Homo-oligomer: A and B are copies of this chain.
Amino acid sequence: MHSVQEKSKEKKLNTFKDVCKQHNIKLTPQRLIIYETLLDHPEHPSTDMVYQCVRKTFPTISFDTVNRTLLTLHELGVANIIEGTGNPKRYDGNVVKHHHFQCVKCKRIIDVFYTEYNSLPIPQDIQEKHRVQDITVRLQGVCDQCRDRSGK
């Protein structure tokens, strides 16, 4: 399990290097470490969470660079932006199609891999009028931890 993850991480980093070349953007150490950090944190960190983590090994990095880089990663298609209700943006380095469950209490985001959600039909009227590029399902509720805590 661990080695599989490591392997896929290496693979992703290599892909990332290629993507940078293709888009003519420079492969700076900041970009690399930010992307790597994102891959290491599947818990959908916010910009600040990534910043705090990257700082540990790269103390001179600015929050600003982290923020811009995460947006760049999204533009490059190697990271997704997830947004909740009234919260900062959160990022996801896993671009394989999946969905999310978010806890309304602790704001935790849990990945939902469920193939049935990946082939939902598009309503005809929408389909005919607009260009639909993506469909995601968003589950909301109370996660196990919060339910246990509150006793509800």
List the B side residues contacting A113 at CB < 8 Å: 123
Contact A130 B110 (CB under 8 A): yes
Give the residue name and chain of the B residue nearest to A140 (CB): B134
C-alpha spacing A126/B102, complex, angstroms: 11
CB distance from A40 to the nearest CB of B (A): 23
Pick from B116, B126, B138: contact of A112, CB under 8 Å: B126
C-alpha spacing A121/B116, complex, angstroms: 8
C-alpha spacing A122/B99, complex, angstroms: 12
Contact B112 A130 (CB under 8 A): no
Q: What is the number of residues of chain A that contact chain B, defined by CB distance less than 8 Å? A: 37
CB distance from A118 to the nearest CB of B (A): 12
Contact B130 A142 (CB under 8 A): yes
Q: Give 3 closest A-B pairs by Cβ, nearest first.
A: A133-B141, A132-B141, A114-B123
List the B side residues contacting A135 at CB < 8 Å: 137-140
A117 at the interface (CB under 8 A from B): yes
C-alpha spacing A116/B132, complex, angstroms: 17
Contact B117 A130 (CB under 8 A): no
Pick from B104, B110, B112, B126: contact of A139, CB under 8 Å: B126
